[in-house]
Each structure stands twice: as structure tokens, then as C-alpha cells.
Structure 1
Amino acid sequence: MGLSIKNEAVETLARDLARRHGTGVTEIIRLALVEKAERDLPEKTLWEKLAPIHAELAAMPNSGLQADRAFYDELNGEAERQ
């Protein structure tokens, strides 16, 4: 399988990048194409980004604690003083 680069500027750029990264021209072109392909993927929605957190929370056991105002006040050190 072959690929022919007929643009001198593109070939020079590929060779320069390969030299700077200490790799071959084929590898630097592969890396560039992989990076471009990943950038072209549609961005995940907020729901898709949060899904792993939702799954982790759903898997946690219920503590049995009542999450009312007194509970949050106590967490924040604002419990009523008697």
C-alpha cells in the first residue's frame, strides 16, 4: 500500500515533524490523522459526560440519612445552638 505526497510543502512539513518527534514520516502522518479524526467526532452532550457519575451514584447504598435542612446546616457547621 502506498501513498504519494505530491505537495513539496506537505512533504517538508511531514519530514520536519517526524524529525522533531523522533519518529518516521508514516508514524507522524498516522498520528496527525488520528488526532484530526478524534477532533472531528461530535462532542459529547452534558448528559453523556455525566452518565458515569450518575451510574456511580446509583450504585451506592442508601445511607438512610434524611437530607433535610437540619442535615445540611450540620454539615456546614450551622446547626442550631441551644
Structure 2
Amino acid sequence: MPLYIRDDATAELVAQLAKARGLTKQDAVKLAVTAELARGQNEKPLRERIRAWREIHPFPPPTGLKADKGFFDDLSGEP
């Protein structure tokens, strides 16, 4: 089944990719779509990436200190 691209900007992008890679426009579209599908399959959702990172780097235990202006002034050496 043929694919007709009605958007001039998209057609131009396909033509640029085809010229840069030495491909036909059909092969350029196939290359771009295949690459995008592969990229999406290997990507974990952000929630899972953060969960895995948190397992390796857990929050430190609470200290009981109050993080107010005086606390931060003390950290920075201000009076």
C-alpha cells in the first residue's frame, strides 16, 4: 500500500535524510521508522529508571535536624 506524505516539511525532511544516507525516499522512511521503533522498545519508563536508581542510591536516614534558615546559614558559614 502506498504512503503519501501531504506535509511539505515532512517530505523535505525525508528527502534530506535520503540524500544524506544515499537512499531512496522509501528506504529513508523505513530507516527512520525502524530506528524510532527500536529506540522506544529499549527505553524504560522514567518511573522504573528512578526506582532502580533509588535502590542503588537510597536516601540517607533522617537526622532529626530542622532545615531552617539558621541551618543553611551554618552550612554556608554565615553568622
TM-score normalized by structure 1?
A: 0.49
* Mapped partners of 2:2, 2:23: distance in 1: 18
Could you say which residue in structure 2 is the equivalent of 1:11?
A: 11
Please tell me the root mean square deviation across aligned C-alpha atoms, in Å.
Answer: 1.5
Residue 4 to residue 41, structure 1, CA distance change in 2 (3 Å): same
Deviations 1:18-68 (A, max 9, x none): 011111000010010111001111447xxxxxxxxxxxxxxxxxxxxxxxx
Unaligned runs of 5+ in 1: 45-82
- One-letter identity of the residue aligned with 2:13: L
**Bigger radius of gyration:** 1
How many equivalent residue pairs?
44
Q: Percent identity?
A: 30
Could you say which residue in structure 1 is the equivalent of 2:33?
A: 33
TM-score normalized by structure 2?
A: 0.51
Runs of 4+ aligned residues of structure 1 deviating over 6 Å after TM superposition are none
